[in-house]
Amino acid sequence: MSTTRDLSNQRTFLIDLTKCTGCRGCQVACKQWNQMEAEKTSFFKGEGYQNPATLSEYTLTTIQFKDYFHEGKNEFSFYKAMCMHCNDPACVSVCPVSAFVKTPEGPVIYDTKKCIGCRFCMIACPFGIPRYQWSKALPLVVKCTGCYSRVKEGLIPACAKACPTAIKYGGRQEMIDEAKRRLTANPGRYMNRIYGLEEAGGTSVLYLSAVPFDDIGFRNVTRRPLPSRTWAALRFVPAAFITMGGSLAFISWLTHRKEKIRRDKEMKEAGHASQKGDRS
């Protein structure tokens, strides 16, 4: 749905990956604030020191490591995978029980009490964020809450608070301006792109990177907000219903009328015939 609401003060993350040292302070802070279980891991799952392998019902954010040679030099890059808290979220639009809500402050939150576990949000999310409690008999969907419980009390999210270097948090326009400022001040240091600015119609998590975004695991996501694609079809529902129902009703009436006329004619002729027969 298009909205003309003013997003300039919406709480937004600016994650400058040229500053991220892959320390995982954010991962641990998230676990601590949300009291999530630690997963059983062994060695590392992925390049570098990556653990756990990916987001899951126990892990709402991970640092994805990339250890490679880029343009002849070593690169050791880190990407904080997390919910993008889209401005026009696909998950909000597809959830049949309205369990997802885009809050006015910015975080996209999720009401566990409403969820029926249909997993449509998992299909819908272009970033592949929502995870499922496969380990439970009555599973629910799990995803980063944007620390809404903190944000609405005026605090910043746990990961942003713990991060000593890379994560900034503030109004959306402020973060965009800061990102642009960094790109112009130090063009040699950055890929000239703010990921999250336009993806999925714009998100509340903006990234800057030194290496190509594709190299370190970012997905190529459409710029058009996803709900608009569904709505393009869904908005025809009432019309389709009325058209279909109406035309069939009309056709039925038409054919039945034709039938009736034909039968009346037959009966009249039969009546005449019998009348004629009677007279003779």
State how beta strands 100-102 and 108-110 pair: antiparallel
Applying CB under 8 A, does 103 fall inside the site for another protein?
Answer: no
Among 18, 34, 103, 173, binds another protein (CB under 8 A): 18
- Let me know: does 178 contact 169? Beta carbons within 8 Å: no
Does residue 135 belong to the site contacting another protein (CB under 8 A)?
yes
**Residue 245: which residues within 8 A CB-CB, separation 6 or more?**
none
Among 3, 165, 184, 274, the residue binding another protein under the rule CB under 8 A is 165
* Residue in 26, 95, 194, 206 binding another protein, rule: CB under 8 A: 95
38 contacts: CB under 8 Å, gap ≥ 6: 31, 58
The set of residues, in sequence order, having a beta carbon less than 8 Å from that of 39 and lying 6+ positions away, is: 52, 56, 58, 59
The SS3 of residue 74 is: strand
Among residues 3, 8, 21, 274, which is the contact residue for another protein, using CB under 8 A? 21
Contact pattern from residue 48 through residue 87 relative to another protein, giving x for each residue in contact according to CB under 8 A and a dash for the rest: xx-xx-xxx----------xxx----xxxxx---------
β-pair type (108-110, 167-171): unpaired
Strand locations in 71-163 (E): 73-81, 100-102, 108-110, 131-132, 141-142
Residues within window 140-159 making contact with another protein, judged by CB under 8 A: 140-141
CB of 279 to another protein, least distance (A): 29
- CB of residue 60 to another protein, shortest distance in Å: 13
Using the rule CB under 8 A, which residue among 9, 39, 150, 198 binds another protein? Answer: 39
In this chain, which stretch among 79-87, 167-175, 243-251, 267-275 interacts with another protein, using CB under 8 A? Answer: 243-251
| One residue of 71, 134, 192, 280 binding another protein per CB under 8 A | 134
**Count of residues that interact with another protein, criterion CB under 8 A:** 96
Give the Cα-Cα-Cα angle 207, 217, 86 (nearest 5 degrees): 45
Strand, coil or helix: what is 6?
coil
Comparing CB distances to another protein, the nearer of 8 and 269 is 269
Based on the shown chain and the rule CB under 8 A, indicate whether residue 183 belongs to the binding site for another protein: no
Closer residue to another protein (CB): 21 or 184: 21
Distance set, CA 271 to CA 154, 258, 263, 266, 278 (Å): 89, 19, 12, 8, 10
Q: Can you tell me which of 15, 60, 124, 156 binds another protein, judged by CB under 8 A?
A: 124
By beta-carbon proximity to another protein, the closer residue of 11 and 131 is 131
262 binds another protein (CB under 8 A): no
